[in-house]
Amino acid sequence: MPFGPNSWIELSTTTIEHNITQYKKIIGNNVALAPVIKANAYGHGMREIAQLLDDNQHIERVCVAKLTEALTLRKQGFKKPILVLSILDSAPEEAIINNINVTIWDLKTAEIFNAVAKKLGKNAQLHIKVDTGLSRMGPIYSNAVQLIMSCSKLEHCTIEGVFTHFSNSENTDLSFANLQIERFTNIIEQIKKQNINPPLIHCASSAGQTVLPSSHFTMARLGIGLYGLWPSPDNQKTTNVLHPNFSLQPVMKWKTRINMIKTVPAHSFVGYDLTYKTERETRIAVLPVGYADGYNRLLSNKGTVKIKNQYAAVIGRVAMNLTMVDVTHIKDISLDDEVLLLGKDPHVNAQTIAKLCQTINYEIVTNINQDVHRIIIP
Bridge partners (DSSP) listed for residue 300: none
3-state secondary structure 320-350: CCCEEEECCCCCCCCCCCEEEEECCCCCCCH
Active site positions, annotated? 38, 272
Q: Which of 267, 194, 236, 186 has the alpha carbon at shortest distance from 350?
A: 236
Amino acid making up residue 373: H
Amino acid making up residue 297: R
3-state secondary structure 161-226: EEECCCCCCCCCCCHHHHHHHHHHHHHHHHHHHCCCCCCEEECCCHHHHHHCHHHCCCEEEECHHH
Beta strand pairing status for 200-202 and 157-163?
parallel
Count of beta carbons in the 10 Å neighbourhood of residue 127: 23
Mark 140-164 as b/e (b = at least 16 C-beta within 10 Å). ebeebbebbeebbebebbbbbbbbb
Q: Which residues contact 121 (CB under 8 A, 6 or more apart)?
A: none
Count of beta carbons in the 10 Å neighbourhood of residue 34: 25
* CB 312, CB 305: distance < 8 Å: yes
**Mutual angle of helices 46-54 and 13-27, in 10-degree steps:** 60
First-to-final CA distance of the chain: 28
Geometric angle at alpha carbon 16, from 13 and 20, rounded to 5° = 135
Mark 309-336 as b/e (b = at least 16 C-beta within 10 Å). eebbebbbbbbeebbbbbbeebeebeee
Q: Which of 55, 44, 46 has the alpha carbon at shortest distance from 74?
A: 46
Instruction: Report the C-alpha gap between 140 and 129 in whole angstroms.
Output: 10
Q: Which of 5, 97, 1 has the alpha carbon at shortest distance from 288?
A: 5
